[in-house]
Amino acid sequence: MSSPAIPRPASVAAMRRILRPARLPQRPVTATPESCRSVCSGAAATRPGALNASSLRSPPSRARIPRPHLQPAARSYHSHDHPPPPGPFTPAESALLSAAYKRVPEHGFTQEALALGARDAGLLEISPAVFPGDGVFALIRWHLYTQRTALADTVDEVAAGTPAGPAGVAERVERLTWERLRANEAIVGRWQEALAIMAQPSHIPASLGELAQLADDILYLAGDVSVDPSWYTKRASLSAIYAAAELFQTTDTSPGFRETRAFLQRRLAEAAQAGAAVRSVGQWAGFTAGAVVNVLRSKGLRI
Amino acid sequence: MAARSAFRRALPWLPRSPVASSLRQAHHVPSQRPFSTSLSASTPNPSSSKDPSVPDYAIPDPSRPTHFGFQTVTEAEKRERVAGVFASVAESYDRMNDLMSFGWHRVWKDHFVASLNPGFSPLGDPPRAPQHILDIAGGTGDIAFRLLHTAHVVNGNPDVRVTMSDINRAMLTVGKHRAARQLPASQQAALSFVEANAEDLTKARPLVPYPPDHSTSPDEYTGSEQPFFDPATATTGIPDASVDLYTVAFGIRNFSNIPAALREARRVLKPGGVFACLEFSKVVSSHPAGALFDAVYKEWSFRAIPLIGQLVAADRDSYQYLVESIARFPSQDEFRDMILDAGFVVAGDGYENLTGGVAAIHKGMKPRE
Ligand SMILES: C[S@@+](CC[C@H](N)C(=O)[O-])C[C@H]1O[C@@H](n2cnc3c(N)ncnc32)[C@H](O)[C@@H]1O
């Protein structure tokens, strides 16, 4: 935790294997702790073209690799005090969730979407029962995970024409964050309910984990190379800003979410000025509590 | 007395150590047949089943004398007493489960069935397909009844039928009696009972109650005196790809060949069908609280349960067996890997721990080819 080693968040190590943007600076490879490289394997297995099949669990291709766990040694001072990220999905999960996800705009993150998706995939309505815990939360993780990792595919396009240097980094951070917010478009009407589910105690660690990963990926893709203590503050404040902007977005009716983008830009500018106070977890919890209250109100509860 | 013997007869999968059985002989010689079948049915004549004319003993007569243990009672009295015996067997069985699990088994079973959400079907196009659920090692019906309730009542879907299967005709007969007492007619109509060994579901037959009651005509009664299903008497089998959901609760650790049972589960399931197993498991001891719980639970299960078993059912060996079979059962990860080896796919870790791993739910889906 106190080790000043080069921070190496889980997703990035994996992403680097599939994505080597020539123009973007790389972190020094020598600093990669071996323990981390092994525990981080397999963070990006579901997108087409991702090569990591090592943690897929199916009879023909499985290798019994434990799910990625952050060992204490691998935790640098980006103190992600959360369990491993919702890593790759098994083939069963991918088949069910990819089909169910298409039903989310109409049916929300619900059992209905899962059952209909199962049917669409040529499976049975009972098939989603295979999820050990909560299939609905898995569907939410599917959204978070696929949209986060999809950023890597768009980075060249998104970053095109941005200058080099710190100004360029800031601009790319803004554009990538906006790109991620736009990816909520199809399901934005369902997102407050999803936030309420994410805020359930048993889901908070995984939800916060995804949020931290997102901030981390954005900064990495934007070419942020800082290894000083600001590494942590940047991620924390970007997490908080993203969470706030996303919540704003759930009530934004302006065309093309113009208001949301303006909100995002204001928050980023403030953070740059104020030197970014670190309140990410608290803020996220606060925002999410807000969403929960909204959802309960919409269900007729007087609070 | 009768209840205890019946209990033991209803649980004949329990192995009997030589010492135990000789003890039992010594104590129970006079009551080896605590309730014999009716006089007529206890001497079935193989040729009579081919005889189209109904023998007069096949016509129920409440006043006709029959055997109950060593007493001669009327058929009507016997029916009542048999029912009473089965009630106490079931009761004893429930009590055993309560003791084994500190009463948690009810909570686990509720959670197990709720997590499967049988019969859930969003109204849409095309209209929902009927669901067929196979409850293996169904015993006295705890799981099957919950499945029916969730499907028919909670999810309002009457297109769900449940087949309850067990290798032990006596347990299944208890289940049938309980169903008749507890379930509304519509649910009874959606429930059927099949004798089969989970390790080979190609051989099965509809339940022939054990011991036979008088609702079963001697014509139908081809059963031996064995409470176990005899594959030689099979009249049917569970077809390939005919089941949406396969459940087994607190049964699989008793199977002598678990991989064979898993292969059979895969065979009878439709593509997309789900295998779901609730079973005692290994307490997660990496967690400090888990480690403490583990120590306490082991102590409890190895010492206290057999003792209490002795008091409750005077059958220390049976309880000892149950405790040991739990301890021998593979860990969560090992069992998950057995499910994968049988050709299922899993989601996440493939299992969910209950009460810190005292029990666990494992699930797998049969993939499309
Ligand atoms: C402890 S009971 C469980 C009953 C019920 N599922 C419950 O949860 O209350 C175990 C059952 O497994 C059955 N059993 C044991 N071996 C079996 C086999 N090879 N095939 C089918 N059933 C078997 C026994 O007859 C017994 O009824």
With pLDDT > 70 as the criterion, what percentage of chain B qualifies? Answer: 58
**Does residue A84 have a pLDDT over 80?**
no
CA angle B331, B332, B335 (to 5 degrees): 80
**Does residue B38 have a pLDDT over 50?**
no
Contacts of B273 in chain A (CB under 8 A): 124, 126-127
Contact A58 B351 (CB under 8 A): no
Give the residue from chain B lying closest to A141, CA to CA: B348
What amino acid occupies position B274? V
Confidence of residue A158 (pLDDT cuts 50, 70, 90): confident
Contact B351 A92 (CB under 8 A): no
Question: How does the average pLDDT of chain A come out, rounded?
Answer: 71
Contact A130 B364 (CB under 8 A): yes
Query: Among the listed ranges A243-257, B41-55, B100-114, which one has the minimum average pLDDT value?
Result: B41-55
Q: Would you say B202 and B238 are in contact if contact means Cβ atoms under 8 Å apart?
A: yes
Q: Would you say A2 and A77 are in contact if contact means Cβ atoms under 8 Å apart?
A: yes
Specify the CATH number for the domain of residue B58. 3.40.50.150
Contact B122 A107 (CB under 8 A): yes
What per-residue confidence (pLDDT) applies to B7? 41
What per-residue confidence (pLDDT) applies to B303? 65
Nearest to A174 by CA among A254, A261, A244: A261
What per-residue confidence (pLDDT) applies to A235? 83
Q: What is the mean pLDDT of residues A110-133?
A: 94
For residue B219, what is the DSSP state? Answer: T
DSSP string, A132-193: SS-HHHHHHHHHHHHHHHHHHHHHHHHHTTPPSHHHHHHHHHHHHHHHHHHTTGGGGGGHHH
**Residue of B167, B195, B229 to mutate, ligand 1, most atoms within 8 A of C-beta:** B167
Q: What separation in Å is there between the alpha carbon of B82 and the centre of ligand 1?
A: 21
Confidence of residue B8 (pLDDT cuts 50, 70, 90): very low
Contacts of A124 in chain B (CB under 8 A): 129, 244, 270-274
Euclidean distance between CA atoms B75 and B63, whole angstroms: 6
What per-residue confidence (pLDDT) applies to A83? 39
Which residues of chain A from 110 to 149 reach within 8 Å of chain B, CB to CB? 111-112, 115-116, 118-119, 122-127, 129-133, 135, 138
Query: Taking each helix axis from N to C terminus, what angle separates A230-249 and A165-182, rounded to the nearest 10 degrees?
Result: 30
Count of structural domains, chain B: 1
What per-residue confidence (pLDDT) applies to B45? 40
Give the residue from chain A lying closest to B336, CA to CA: A57
Euclidean distance between CA atoms A299 and A303, whole angstroms: 11
Euclidean distance between CA atoms A205 and A82, whole angstroms: 5
What amino acid occupies position B123? L
What per-residue confidence (pLDDT) applies to A17? 36
Nearest to B171 by CA among B3, B39, B10: B10
Euclidean distance between CA atoms B151 and B121, whole angstroms: 10
Query: Among the listed ranges A64-78, A117-131, A163-177, B135-149, which one has the minimum average pLDDT value?
Result: A64-78
Q: What is the mean pLDDT of residues A268-290?
A: 60
What per-residue confidence (pLDDT) applies to A272? 75
What per-residue confidence (pLDDT) applies to B143? 97
Confidence of residue B319 (pLDDT cuts 50, 70, 90): low
Torsional sign, CA B112, B118, B120, B126: positive
Query: Among the listed ranges A59-63, A246-250, B11-15, B208-212, which one has the minimum average pLDDT value?
Result: A59-63
For residue B154, what is the DSSP state? Answer: I
Q: Is residue A225 part of a domain?
A: yes
Min CA distance, B148 vs chain A (Å)? 14
Q: Would you say B356 and B289 are in contact if contact means Cβ atoms under 8 Å apart?
A: yes
Long-range pairs, B46-53, Cβ under 8 A, ≥24 = B48/B218, B48/B219, B49/B218, B49/B219, B49/B221, B49/B222
What per-residue confidence (pLDDT) applies to B282? 82
- Stronger pLDDT, A261 or A294, i.e. the higher one: A261
The pLDDT tens digits for B246-265 are 999 988 987 878 999 999 99
Q: Count of residues for chain B? A: 369
On whether B230 is known to bind a ligand per the annotation, the reply is: no
**Does residue B185 have a pLDDT over 60?**
yes
Q: What is the mean pLDDT of residues B298-306?
A: 65
Nearest to B198 by CA among B243, B240, B137, B270: B137
Q: How far apart are the first and last CA of chain A?
A: 40
Q: Is residue A141 part of a domain?
A: yes
The pLDDT tens digits for B102-160 are 778 889 999 999 999 999 998 765 667 899 999 999 988 999 999 999 999 999 999 99
Residue B254 Cβ contacting ligand 1 at under 6 Å:
yes
Contact B120 A125 (CB under 8 A): yes
Q: Hey, which of A258-272, B120-134, B289-303 has the most confident mean pLDDT?
A: A258-272
Rg of the Cα trace of chain B? Answer: 21
Confidence of residue B315 (pLDDT cuts 50, 70, 90): low
Q: What is the mean pLDDT of residues A251-256?
A: 94
On whether B166 is known to bind a ligand per the annotation, the reply is: yes
What per-residue confidence (pLDDT) applies to A88? 79
Instruction: Tell me whether residue B56 is exposed, middle or buried, using C-beta atoms within 10 angstroms of its C-beta: 0 to 12, 13 to 18, 19 or more.
Output: exposed
Q: Is residue A50 part of a domain?
A: no
Out of A90, A122, A126, closest to residue B245 by CB: A126
What per-residue confidence (pLDDT) applies to A287? 57
Confidence of residue B355 (pLDDT cuts 50, 70, 90): confident
**Buried/exposed code over A49-59 (b: 16+ C-beta within 10 A; e: otherwise):** ebebeebbbbe
With pLDDT > 70 as the criterion, what percentage of chain A qualifies? Answer: 60
Q: What separation in Å is there between the alpha carbon of A166 and the centre of ligand 1?
A: 68
In sequence order, the 6+-apart residues with CB closer than 8 A to the CB of B344 are B262, B266, B275, B364, B365, B366, B367
Min CA distance, A124 vs chain B (Å)? 5
Contact B350 A62 (CB under 8 A): no
What per-residue confidence (pLDDT) applies to A31? 34
Classify A300 as helix, strand or coil.
coil
The pLDDT tens digits for A188-222 are 999 999 999 998 888 888 899 999 999 999 999 99
Confidence of residue A14 (pLDDT cuts 50, 70, 90): very low
Q: Is residue A93 part of a domain?
A: no
β-bridge partners, B246: B134, B275
Token readout for B200 is 């080979």
What per-residue confidence (pLDDT) applies to A12? 41
Contacts of A96 in chain B (CB under 8 A): 347
Q: Is residue A232 part of a domain?
A: yes
Contacts of B337 in chain A (CB under 8 A): 64
Euclidean distance between CA atoms A89 and A52, whole angstroms: 11
Q: Would you say B137 and B251 are in contact if contact means Cβ atoms under 8 Å apart?
A: yes
Euclidean distance between CA atoms B94 and B237, whole angstroms: 30
Confidence of residue A85 (pLDDT cuts 50, 70, 90): very low
Residue B175 Cα distances to B96, B146, B162, B191, B206, angstroms? 16, 13, 13, 11, 14
What per-residue confidence (pLDDT) applies to B251? 87
Residue B13 Cβ contacting ligand 1 at under 6 Å:
yes
Nearest to B328 by CA among B361, B280, B261: B280
Q: Hey, which of B72-81, B157-166, B283-292 has the most confident mean pLDDT?
A: B157-166
Contact A126 B244 (CB under 8 A): yes
Contact B129 A133 (CB under 8 A): no
**Does residue B214 have a pLDDT over 80?**
no
Min CA distance, B209 vs chain A (Å)? 32
Q: What separation in Å is there between the alpha carbon of B318 and the centre of ligand 1?
A: 14
Give the residue from chain B lying closest to A60, CA to CA: B343
Residue B142 Cα distances to A132, A232, A251, B254, angstroms? 21, 53, 47, 17
Query: Taking each helix axis from N to C terminus, what angle separates B332-341 and B258-268, rounded to the nearest 10 degrees?
Result: 50
Residue B232 Cα distances to B168, B218, B220, angstroms? 15, 18, 15
E-state strands within chain B? 65-68, 71-74, 131-136, 160-166, 191-197, 200-206, 243-249, 269-280, 351-354, 359-365
What per-residue confidence (pLDDT) applies to A167? 81
DSSP string, B85-149: HHHHHHHHHHHHHHHHHTTHHHHHHHHHHHHH-TT-----SSPPPPEEEEEET-TTSHHHHHHHI
Give the residue from chain B lying closest to A138, CA to CA: B348
Residue A92 at interface with chain B, using a CB cutoff of 8 Å:
yes
Range of the domain at B304: 2-365
Give the residue from chain A lying closest to B114, CA to CA: A129
Euclidean distance between CA atoms A69 and A10, whole angstroms: 9
Query: Among the listed ranges B67-71, B223-227, B338-342, which one has the minimum average pLDDT value?
Result: B67-71
Residue B250 Cβ contacting ligand 1 at under 6 Å:
yes
Helix, strand and coil content of chain B, in percent to the nearest 5, comes to 45, 20, 35
The DSSP H or E segment spanning B176 is: helix B169-182
Residue B198 Cβ contacting ligand 1 at under 6 Å:
yes
What per-residue confidence (pLDDT) applies to B34? 34
What per-residue confidence (pLDDT) applies to A68? 35
Residue B174 Cβ contacting ligand 1 at under 6 Å:
no
- Stronger pLDDT, A231 or A86, i.e. the higher one: A231
Q: What separation in Å is there between the alpha carbon of B316 and the centre of ligand 1?
A: 19
The residue nearest atom 13 of ligand 1, judged by CA position, is B137
Confidence of residue A253 (pLDDT cuts 50, 70, 90): very high
Range of the domain at A183: 133-288
Residue A57 at interface with chain B, using a CB cutoff of 8 Å:
yes
**Residue of B7, B9, B11, B13 to mutate, ligand 1, most atoms within 8 A of C-beta:** B13
Residue B167 Cβ contacting ligand 1 at under 6 Å:
yes
Contact B115 A129 (CB under 8 A): yes
Contact A90 B343 (CB under 8 A): no
Out of B118, B343, B361, closest to residue A126 by CB: B118
Q: Would you say B118 and B147 are in contact if contact means Cβ atoms under 8 Å apart?
A: yes
Q: Is residue A1 part of a domain?
A: no
Q: How far apart are the first and last CA of chain B?
A: 54
* pTM of this prediction exceeds 0.90: no
Classify B347 as helix, strand or coil.
coil
With pLDDT > 90 as the criterion, what percentage of chain A qualifies? Answer: 40
Count of structural domains, chain A: 1
CB pairs under 8 A between A and B: 108
**Does residue A44 have a pLDDT over 80?**
no
Q: Would you say B342 and A84 are in contact if contact means Cβ atoms under 8 Å apart?
A: no
